[in-house]
Structure 1
């Protein structure tokens, strides 16, 4: 299992660093600016989010977080350039450590903490986000399955608030 986790961690790093072609069509404003809105994203498979945000980054897309962004969704903060990501007042983010799920037919799923992947994800976040998460008990490789919710004034300290220019 450790070998698999290390291999996955290596793949994540390569995906985050390699250019990717944009596969989604972001919203285009009359001004010619483009933005993708995140409003109800519960997260999912880390590798898929690394690929998606790498695509957005490479395409020069702006991301507006206007609602829920949880789990792997929060990787937007580590992959996108900070000036390309903003939060609306109603935005909220949820962070937690990574897990692997082993599924076998006829057996219950086995969910295990993945310390190497958790640490890789943690290290992808900007330092101000890592520092805040550490104050909440998540230091990277340690298990922190409880969601750390960030919203309001605290979120605006970690991610820049959207301006009128971001929405025009």
Structure 2
């Protein structure tokens, strides 16, 4: 009997795979671009899934250019917000100062679907342009399967 139990455990261990990790984004207003690049490169390297289940604004949207599209999805609560990059206000006396270089860097990461939406909607500006869940967002990223 002991041998049978060992055999069953061995078969289960061989067939078992670790649960796929999921990064769930619910209220992310962005931040430093370099930090998001590093974060999403780690997510990509680990093969994790990303579920956008709320707000994903600013640098958060780099997920679309770094994590493979097959690993990213949106729930009905998802929305994204895009705008030009700007310098840290701590260094500009609290004033938003656009960074042409930073904006160009952001755009270089975005897939064509994001670039197309930006172009159709007047380009990136100082103001946040939002895409709520629906056909416009689904052209960029697939809706999540129901189990998410």
- Which TM-score bucket, shorter chain as reference? 0.7 to 0.9
Structure 1: how far apart are the matches of 2:146 and 2:96? 43
Tell me the TM-score normalised to structure 2 length: 0.81
1:164 aligns with 2:142: no
Question: Cα RMSD between the aligned structures?
Answer: 2.0
Tell me the TM-score normalised to structure 1 length: 0.72
Alignment coverage as a number of residue pairs:
131
1:118 aligns with 2:99: no
Query: 2:49 aligns to what?
Result: 62
Query: 2:3 aligns to what?
Result: none
Contact 1:123 1:130 in 2 (8 A): no
Q: Displacement of 1:49 after TM fit?
A: 0.5
The gaps in structure 2 that reach 5 residues or longer are 1-16
Q: Secondary structure in 2 aligned to 1:37? A: strand
Larger radius of gyration: 2
Cα deviation, 1:7-62, whole Å, max 9, x if unaligned, reads xxxxxxxxxxxxxxxxxxxxxxx982221100000101111111100110011110
Structure 2: how far apart are the matches of 1:137 and 1:58? 34
1:151 aligns with 2:136: no
